Every structure is written in C-alpha cells, then in structure tokens.
Amino acid sequence: EAQVTQNPRYLITVTGKKLTVTCSQNMNHEYMSWYRQDPGLGLRQIYYSMNVEVTDKGDVPEGYKVSRKEKRNFPLILESPSPNQTSLYFCASSLGQGYNEQFFGPGTRLTVL
Amino acid sequence: QKEVEQNSGPLSVPEGAIASLNCTYSDRGSQSFWYRQYSGKSPELIMSIYSNGDKEDGRFTAQLNKASQYVSLLIRDSQPSDSATYLCAVKEGGYQKVTFGTGTKLQVIP
C-alpha cells in the first residue's frame, strides 16, 4: 500500500530533551516536506527536500533540523524542544518533477512541557 | 511571502445543495490544490488544477483564474460526509514551496 508513515504518533516530552520524528514514504517520491498545524494558523511549512541531500527552509524553520540521506526517509529533529513547538506535525511527499500533489502522513501530536 | 486567504467559516449548506468554497492568493501561482481534512485526521487531496478554467471530478469542480489570483471549489449534491475543513494550497511557479490557507470549515446539514 502506498503510504507515508510517521513515528511516533503521539509524544509528550520536556523542554530541552532532543527528539526525532521519523517520516518514511514507499512511493519513490522525490519531494518531501514537514508541516506544523496550529489552531487558527493552518498548515505552515517547516522544511522541504527536493531530493537526497537537497533540503531548504520553509516558513517556520527555527528550532528544527532535517536530513535527507535516503530518498524514502526525511526525519525531523528538534535539538532542544520548547513549549512553543507543541503542535501537530505532518510529513508529506509528492512525486516532484512538476507533479506536486502531496500525500500526507497520519500526523504526530507533540507536547513539550 | 505568499499569502493564501480563505474564509474560515463555518459554511453551512443543506444536504443536496451546492457548496462554494473560495480562495485568493497574493502572488503568482502556477498550481492550485484543494485538500479535505476531517477533524483529527491528515489532509487528503481532492483536486489539483494547473490551468485557467474549470476542472471537474465527480461532484467536485475546481475553477482557477490566475490573473485574478483566485481559485474556487464547488461541491455539488453536498452530503453530510462532506462536512470537513477544506484547505486551499498554491504553489508558485519556479519554486518548490507550497503555501496553504487556514481552511474553510464546511457543515452539511441533513
């Protein structure tokens, strides 16, 4: 089944404790992206990647890191999480090469205390 | 920075009616997308539209006017199962960023 998977689905952590949210897709998509969704603010792009080893900042990259060492994986790293990073996070992927219809993962609900 | 504007709603329509959702954006957009998001779920693509004019898929019709920076979604014969938040997204030509609006909540009343 073609899908985007994220882990964990739910995470409660404390300020300053490094964490990684994994994202994997099995559709051989070139483009992958991370979003956060907050009430009243909608979906905001954190980082995106056009292909392996090619990443770029979205609209709200502060406090986040990403890497794209393999085509299928695009982990989101929070080196020192803070309470303002409490949010619902979505990973998405698309074919690229002009086809930008994105497929979303199930989401990760993160709470930073 | 591109802005994508949507009326937050809620937009309430009776079952069987046509629901009309609108979206405007501030910069040149080459591709537009409509996603549906049920509460607590991830967005799912309904339609993409790349060229000016209309695009129909079942009960859904998207309309794009690049000169006016406007895209709309019509849902015919609305069903209670259509009740969700509808997200408009726009991609600017030559760039890889996709900007989302904050969404319009649609309620279809049985």
- Subunit contact B45:A103, Cβ cutoff 8 A: yes
- Using CB atoms, which residue from B98, B99, B103 is nearest to A102? B98
DSSP assigned state of B80: G
Instruction: Kindly list the residues from chain B whose CB atom is less than 8 angstroms away from the CB atom of residue A44.
Output: 100
pLDDT digits (tens, 9 = 90+) for A11-67: 999 999 999 999 999 999 999 999 999 998 889 999 999 999 999 999 999 999 999
pLDDT band at B8 (very low <50, low <70, confident <90, very high): confident
Q: Nearest Cβ partner of B100 from A40, A43, A101?
A: A43
- B65-100 pLDDT, tens digit each: 988 999 999 999 999 999 999 999 998 766 677 889
Identity of the residue in A40, A58, A107 whose CB atom sits nearest the CB atom of B97: A58
What is the model's pLDDT at position B1?
A: 62
For B82, which DSSP code? Answer: G
Cα separation of A55 and A42, whole Å?
A: 22
| A-chain residues near B100 (CB < 8 A) | 35, 42-45
pLDDT for B95: 66
Count of helix runs (H) and strand runs (E) in chain A: 0, 11
The pLDDT assigned to B93 comes to: 67
**pLDDT of A55-108, one tens digit each?**
999 999 999 999 999 999 999 999 999 999 999 999 999 998 777 899 999 999
A93-112 burial, b for 16+ CB within 10 Å, e for fewer? Answer: bbeeeeebbbbbbebbebeb
Which residues partner with A73 through β-bridges?
A: A24
